[in-house]
Amino acid sequence: MELQRRHLLAAASAASLAAIAARAAAQAAYPTKPITVIVPFAAGGPTDALARVLCQKMSEILGQQLIVENVGGAGGTIGVNKVAKAANDGYTLLFAHMGTLAVNIALYKSLPYDSQKDFEPIGLGGTNPMVLVAKKDLPAKSFAEFQDYVKANQKKVQYGMAGIGAASHLGGLMLNSMMKVDVLEIPYKGTGPALNDLVSGQFDYMVDQAVNVLGQIRSGNIKALGVSTLKRLPQLPDVPTIDEAGLKGYEVTIWNGFFGPKGMSKDNIAKINDALVKAMADAAVSKRLTELAVDLPTKEESTPDALRGQLKASIDKWVPAVKAAGVKPE
Ligand code: ASP
């Protein structure tokens, strides 16, 4: 009897040791299969563009594909929620920006996720300035003329954005509120498709991340009337800041970052963070992103904790600011 019990105990501990070893091996080997990276906006937009540049390099570094899946709609909340509810095994990640994770807390009566509790921050993936762009035949050659035109044509003027809580919504709503205008809002699933419509003149203006609009500005298909930073951009030296052009204090920049579902293991977070940091340090990647006006984080800004701090700081800054702008939550 005693012998049988000892055999059973030995078998049980061998089995649990084997299980622990298997788990450790799986962790050490992570990732052993492709990783899905959800971008909560349409393909061809700024979040998508940045995600694809980073994911391509990170795939090379990790030896596994990081596959971008675009889940657009509702200002990014559909895609973000999908990751909040996904398995936390490290094979579903989110690449999203401060609009969908911080600003939209002020813009929705209720969100299906809690951005501080339902995710594990992994690392910052670049911060983007924005540009006020207008269709090329809008009758305004400067920011001052633009402001006069919009004021004179309220209710008729249309601005584009990528849904409630998108970066382009934040950029546009702060602009409209500071100009004290009431204009028509045209929502898209991302500013990729919105930009196509701006180029073909289907609405009047939007405030979008530079990474998405620089090419079309250079080709003369749309016009840039102001930048959202307090300093001019080297990529658009002739375009004034919106602050210097008349709206004192207007400043909006958009950070982007990788997140995993709550409970993703520290080891797996560290592996993705390491690949991200290496990807951003790659000479070709950083040259490409700098050309697109993306500001890359320093070493200290690249840690998961720094991203957690960034998220909290953005909630503390933007939730009261958006409420003060008088926008009613949906
Ligand atoms: N990030 C969105 C996109 O990629 C645009 C936005 O937030 O305004 O389309």
Please give all residues whose beta carbon lies within 6 A of any atom in ligand 1, as ranges: 41-42, 45-48, 97, 99, 162, 166-168, 190-192
Distance of CA 83 from the midpoint of ligand 1 (Å): 17
Question: What is the residue-averaged pLDDT of the chain?
Answer: 93
Distance of CA 163 from the midpoint of ligand 1 (Å): 9
Distance of CA 104 from the midpoint of ligand 1 (Å): 13
Residue ranges matching CATH 3.40.190.150 in the chain = 27-128+254-325
Q: Identify the residue whose C-alpha is closest to ligand 1 atom 2.
A: 190
Instruction: Work out the number of other CB atoms within 10 angstroms of the CB of residue 155.
Output: 9
- pTM, 2 dp: 0.90
Distance of CA 5 from the midpoint of ligand 1 (Å): 63
Q: Using 50, 70 and 90 to split pLDDT, how confident is the model at 271?
A: very high
Q: Using 50, 70 and 90 to split pLDDT, how confident is the model at 9?
A: low
Between the alpha carbon of residue 16 and those of residues 11, 27, 119, 282, 303, the distances in Å are: 9, 16, 30, 42, 34
23 pLDDT more than 80: no
Relative to the CA of 47, which ligand 1 atom is closest?
4
- Distance, in Å, from the CA atom of 222 to the CA atom of 213, rounded to the nearest integer, reads 8
Residue ranges matching CATH 3.40.190.10 in the chain = 130-227
12 pLDDT more than 80: no
- Distance, in Å, from the CA atom of 195 to the CA atom of 30, rounded to the nearest integer, reads 38
Best probe residue, ligand 1, of 168, 206, 294, 318 (max atoms within 8 Å of C-beta): 168
Best probe residue, ligand 1, of 188, 212, 228, 294 (max atoms within 8 Å of C-beta): 212
Q: Using 50, 70 and 90 to split pLDDT, how confident is the model at 190?
A: very high
Distance of CA 125 from the midpoint of ligand 1 (Å): 15
**CATH code for residues 130-227:** 3.40.190.10
Distance of CA 69 from the midpoint of ligand 1 (Å): 14
Distance of CA 166 from the midpoint of ligand 1 (Å): 6
- The closest of 247, 116, 125 to 178, measured between CA atoms, is 247
Tens-place pLDDT, residues 100-142: 999 999 999 999 999 999 999 999 999 999 999 999 999 999 9
Q: Which CATH architecture has domain 27-128+254-325?
A: 3-Layer(aba) Sandwich (3.40)
3 pLDDT more than 60: no
Relative to the CA of 189, which ligand 1 atom is closest?
9
Relative to the CA of 39, which ligand 1 atom is closest?
4
